[in-house]
């Protein structure tokens, strides 16, 4: 049984199955958190999208809806705004500009949740206001200029100590601190994401979905294939969940049934 302070590595093929294994361990009797957690996800289709188990996804979406939590797509959007990318039809300059302009409106409409920014906004407009440094564009341009050389170039931060250091007892943003990109021997892109803490039930799945889509975008622009997502979490938590809640037990029954038919994690 994994308890607080016990490191855990989970490797699985498919986003839904990987998330399901984390949740299954985290909600076992006597477990309150996993610290630290390393989750390694493979299983991406030919277009770079993460493989999802539709039964697990539907069960989670239903639970999030009936409990009034943010949906997976909403959470994923904060890391990678897929709908803007589709509207830009693959034109990355147009995509970046479209989001920069849109986020300023989003921020005004919902300042409570967005006053400090969002993850993708920090990645492409770090200082904010539509004129900040675009870390992703720099990485892509630098890769086009010289793909070899110093590998520490391929990293981008979302945490800013000038804005984010706080004595507030509860702070939703930013938990994701940084992303980095590495490359495999088979011409694949590996995305690494670093979290101080992560709420696995209400945000974990959406986080992994957004990171996978970010990886797909970067891989496409680099002419690579999306191969693996590694997520490093200092403290993985099960939110304020009551493990005996009937609605939660219904969701877990679906998840456990699907996990029984999936490969056992390493």
**pTM above threshold 0.85:** yes
Q: Please, what is the average pLDDT of the chain?
A: 90
Q: What is the mean pLDDT of residues 62-67?
A: 96
pLDDT tens digits, one per residue of 200-216: 999 999 999 999 999 99
The rounded percent of the chain whose pLDDT value lies above 70 is 90
pLDDT band at 110 (very low <50, low <70, confident <90, very high): low
Least confident of 9-13, 30-34, 106-110: 106-110
pLDDT band at 170 (very low <50, low <70, confident <90, very high): low
pLDDT band at 1 (very low <50, low <70, confident <90, very high): very low
pLDDT tens digits, one per residue of 254-263: 999 999 988 7
Evaluate if residue 26 carries a pLDDT over 60. Answer: yes
Evaluate if residue 264 carries a pLDDT over 50. Answer: yes
The pLDDT score that the predictor gives to residue 32 is: 85
Evaluate if residue 3 carries a pLDDT over 90. Answer: no
- Token pair 């622009």 is at which residue? 221
């Amino acid at each position: 049984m994994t308890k607080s302070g016990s490191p855990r590595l989970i490797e699985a093929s498919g986003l839904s199955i990987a998330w399901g294994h984390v949740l299954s361990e985290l909600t076992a009797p006597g477990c309150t958190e996993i610290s630290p957690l390393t989750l390694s996800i493979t299983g991406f289709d030919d277009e770079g999208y993460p493989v999802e188990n539709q039964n697990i996804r539907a069960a989670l979406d239903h639970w999030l809806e009936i409990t009034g939590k943010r949906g997976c797509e909403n959470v994923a959007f904060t890391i990678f705004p897929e709908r803007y990318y589709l509207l830009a039809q693959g034109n990355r300059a147009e995509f970046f500009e479209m989001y920069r302009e849109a986020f300023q409106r989003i921020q005004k409409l919902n300042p409570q949740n967005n006053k400090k920014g969002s993850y993708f906004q920090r990645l492409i407009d770090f200082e904010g206001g539509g004129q900040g440094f675009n870390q992703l564009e720099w990485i892509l341009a630098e890769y086009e200029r010289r793909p070899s050389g110093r590998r520490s170039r391929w990293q981008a931060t979302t945490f800013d100590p000038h804005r984010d250091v706080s004595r507030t007892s509860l702070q939703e943003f930013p938990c994701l601190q940084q992303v980095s990109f590495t490359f495999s021997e088979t011409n694949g892109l590996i995305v690494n994401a670093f979290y101080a803490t992560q709420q696995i039930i209400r945000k974990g799945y959406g986080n992994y979905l957004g990171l996978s889509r970010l990886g797909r975008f970067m891989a496409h622009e680099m002419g690579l294939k999306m191969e693996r997502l590694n997520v490093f979490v200092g403290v993985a938590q099960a939110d304020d969940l009551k493990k005996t809640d009937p609605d939660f037990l219904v969701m877990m029954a679906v998840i456990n049934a699907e996990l029984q038919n999936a490969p056992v994690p390493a």
